[in-house]
Amino acid sequence: MELLPPLQPKEVVPTLRRTNPSTKQWRAIFAISGTACFGFVLWGINQFLSLRGVVHVLASRIVLIATAAAILGWLSFTRLFSKWRNGWFAFGAIMIVWLSFSLDWWAPKPIAPTTQLPMVSASSSPDLNAEILKQLQEIQRSLPKSSPPPPFLISAGPILLGRDVNASSMYITFSELSTKLDPHPIQLEPANLIFYVGVLNQQSIPSMVQAYKVEVMNKSGKWVKLKRLDTLGGVHVYWSAGNTRQFFPLDSNEFFDSAVYHKSLRPQGEPALGWVLFRYPPDVGEIEPSPRIRMTIYDPNGRKTASEIGKRNTESEGEGGPQGAGFKLFPAIQLPAEQAIIKAPY
């Protein structure tokens, strides 16, 4: 009988098991990546339309191509767990390219500014409107054709200003003035700089005036930002004719705030027209009789236009009146001698 040698134990080598993500994990990854891609697509479309409106076609197409490439990248990622990988990717790529070409064809192209402006509707200052339209036409004709036009054109009519912080003859107040005695003091805020302005949308898409500011250069050569006096929300505007107790109501006039508040300006359409009021800060210093004045207009997309308004039609305090500037006046209101009046703090 032959005995067999005992079996030698085999060495056991541990092996690593490869695990694949489950279906729920793939779905979570797909949802997160899809949400991020969707947000990028919305941003890309917004930038495409913004650039197409005011810059030029090439810049907008670069953004459109980058957006389409991002979508194709996301589609290639979905091939990792799609059943019909190549078929869905090819179909999606064709659709993205077709939609991109369609969007590029549909989006309006920048148009060159025309030299003819439409007539504006009747307002309280027809002569001022005609003057502003004429100035805007001159500005349009002087624009260089080799560069894209600015988002907005700005033109100003009569300018009424004070030489220092204490010089003012126009006021705003939340109290409606009356010949009857008010038991409470009436608070008036002075306007040191007043002018009539027109703003035209030069873009090929509708736009809005999101904000605006005005700066004036003092005698020291420093640009000083002024405080804008809001003419909305129940504010009353008055002109004082050198008599602190006699005030002329000006509420029936056109004010720029009302012309642009929550309103869209059509491309090359009617300009926004109206009076703007500003107050000097305490440290403004002394102002020249015909100072340099700069106005800046902002739209909701961050585009802006800064322009120095002309020195002509500038009247210093005491040299002009509201009727000569184009204001419509109502009969003056004589406040009682006992009426308390206080100046609004800056």
Top pLDDT among 146 and 4 is at 146
The three-state DSSP-derived secondary structure of 53-101 is: HHCCHHHHHHHHHHHHHHHHHHHHHHCCCCCCHHHHHHHHHHHHHHHHH
How much is the pLDDT for 75? 67
- Structure-block tokens of residue 326: 């184009």
How much is the pLDDT for 161? 85
91: pLDDT strictly greater than 80: no
Least confident window among 66-75, 169-178, 320-329: 320-329
pLDDT in tens, 21-50: 556 666 666 667 667 766 777 777 777 666
Q: Which CATH number does the domain 126-343 belong to among 3.30.70.20, 2.60.40.10, 2.70.70.10, 3.40.50.620? A: 2.60.40.10
How much is the pLDDT for 116? 39
Q: Give Dmax (Cα) for the chain.
A: 142
Start-to-end Cα distance in the chain: 120
11: pLDDT strictly greater than 90: no
User: Domain ranges in the chain?
Assistant: 23-106, 126-343
314: pLDDT strictly greater than 60: no
Top pLDDT among 97 and 227 is at 227
What percentage of the chain has pLDDT greater than the value 90? 28
Q: Give the pLDDT band (50/70/90) at residue 19.
A: low
pLDDT (average), residues 101-112: 65
Q: Give the pLDDT band (50/70/90) at residue 118.
A: very low
pLDDT (average), residues 93-103: 75
How much is the pLDDT for 186? 92
316: pLDDT strictly greater than 50: no
pLDDT in tens, 123-143: 345 677 888 888 888 888 888
Write out the E strands in 185-235. 186-191, 193-201, 211-217, 223-225, 227-228
Compute the distance between CA of residue 284 and CA of residue 98 in angstroms, rounded to an integer: 58
pLDDT (average), residues 134-163: 88
What percentage of the chain has pLDDT greater than the value 70? 69
- Structure-block tokens of residue 18: 């490869």
How much is the pLDDT for 319? 43
pLDDT in tens, 218-248: 999 999 999 999 998 889 999 886 667 889 9
pTM beyond 0.75: the answer is no
114: pLDDT strictly greater than 70: no
Stated length of the chain: 346
Top pLDDT among 247 and 79 is at 247
Least confident window among 11-20, 112-121, 184-193, 329-338: 112-121
The phi and psi torsions of 94 (rounded to 5 degrees) equal -65, -45
Q: Give the pLDDT band (50/70/90) at residue 346.
A: confident
317: pLDDT strictly greater than 60: no
Q: Compute the chain's Rg from CA coordinates.
A: 33
Q: Give the pLDDT band (50/70/90) at residue 292.
A: very high
Compute the distance between CA of residue 92 and CA of residue 71 in angstroms, rounded to an integer: 9
pLDDT in tens, 279-288: 999 988 888 8
Q: What is the mean pLDDT of the chain?
A: 78
How much is the pLDDT for 169? 81
36-61 core/surface letters (b: 16 or more CB in 10 A; e: else): ebeeeeeebeebbbbbbbbeeeebbb
